[in-house]
Amino acid sequence: MSLIKWKNTDIIPSFYEMMESFFKDDGDFFSSSWKSTSPAVNVSKTDDSYDVEVAAPGLKKTDFKIEMENGLLHISAEQEHSNEEKEDNFTRKEFSYQSFKRTFHLPDDAEEHNVQAAYENGLLKIRIPRKAIVEKSSVKKIDIQ
């Protein structure tokens, strides 16, 4: 006798997929149909800066909004498309709206004032300079008089 995985096709497929992915061991709760539209983000740390790269092809630099507030970096974008065709017998109007917002906590050594951002070839690059931290010696010798 062998065990066979049972898959009930009478249940709504998306509900079944969601429940199956919830109990999987790979830690990915959301199946591909449930994932959000937030773009992929890479964050790297160098000796003098934090670099954030957001993969957002198809957007223009005017679609983005970048804000720094109380140690938080907010990156958001909105894009709206509309297309209307009129002919003798009918009118066809199509429109779409897409947006996302990502927020990141900045480390204490991040300098919020000289942030630079550039958008090129579908990649938004944000460079956040790091403050120079003066290392303090934990041992201080005191001369006795």
- Domain membership of residue 1 (yes or no) is no
Task: In whole angstroms, give the CA distance from residue 26 to residue 33.
Answer: 17
Q: 70-93 burial string, b = 16+ CB within 10 Å, else e? A: eeebebebebeeeeeeeeeeeeee
Whether 24 and 56 map to the same domain: the answer is no
Distance CA 110, CA 34 (A): 34
Q: Are residues 62 and 32 in the same domain?
A: no
Q: What is the pTM of this model?
A: 0.61
Residue 134 lies in a domain: no
Is the separation of the CB atoms in 45 and 129 below 8 Å? no
At residue 1, the pLDDT reads: 52
Q: Is residue 137 part of a domain?
A: no
* Structural domain total, the chain: 2
Residue 26 pLDDT: 52
**Residue ranges of the chain with per-residue pLDDT less than 50:** 11, 27-35
> 80: domain range?
37-129
Q: Is residue 87 part of a domain?
A: yes
CATH code of the domain containing 92: 2.60.40.790
Residues 74 and 88 in one domain: yes
With H, G, I as helix, E, B as strand and everything else as coil, classify residue 145: coil
Would residue 102 count as lying in a domain?
yes
* CA distance linking residue 59 with residue 123, whole number of Å: 9
Identify each DSSP E strand in the chain by its residue range: 41-45, 49-55, 64-69, 72-86, 91-105, 116-120, 123-129
Please indicate, yes or no, if residue 143 is contained in any of the structural domains: no
pLDDT value at residue 112: 87
